[in-house]
Amino acid sequence: MSTKMTLIQDFLAQERIAVVGVSRDEKDFSRGLFREFCNRGYDVVPVNPEAAAIEGRLCFAHVQDIRPSVEGALLMTSPELTDKVVRDCAEAGIRRVWLYRGVGPGAVSESAVAFCRDNDIEVIDGYCPYMFFSNTPFVHKAHGFMMKLMGGYPK
């Protein structure tokens, strides 16, 4: 069985990922994280049914619509939408899913986590990718450090 840190490293090793639920608001946290993945050389595909393009990239309404397909999906949806999106990921053949969590519940839904595990989808249930990037801004390093102190950092 893989550790959470192994799953995180594997996810971040993918070159082409979808960010599901990325906001149309350019000041939203999800847009900043989307840009960070782009700046780090990832081929990032935005998914938002209410946007035609995000950061100059063609936006898709659903993960099943993405061509060519992606290797993983970062979900920045509400927990109420996460269950449907992980089923969409399964239908699209996406085998790596990260349910974002910063402050609050984020995208994490216990039923979505169970669905992923029952359907052989590698799932990261929580955490913010910023904490695992090299040379990340101080606030994200501090977030990771605090999680280590509190015993919540993945092993």
Tens-digit pLDDT profile for residues 4-59: 889 999 999 999 999 999 999 999 999 999 999 999 999 999 999 999 999 999 99
pLDDT for the residue 43:
98
pLDDT for the residue 126:
87
Domain borders along the chain are 4-150
pLDDT category at 143 given cuts 50, 70, 90 is low
Q: In the chain, what are the helix, strand and coil shares in percent, each to the nearest 5? A: 40, 15, 40
Fold of 4-150: Rossmann fold (3.40.50)
What value does the mean pLDDT of the chain take? 90
pLDDT for the residue 131:
85
The pairs formed by 87-92 with CB atoms below 8 angstroms and a separation of 24 or more are 87/115, 88/62, 88/63, 88/64, 89/63, 89/121, 90/115, 90/119, 90/121, 91/64, 92/63, 92/64, 92/66
Whole-prediction pTM value? 0.90
pLDDT for the residue 138:
52
Task: Report the amino acid identity of residue 11.
Answer: F
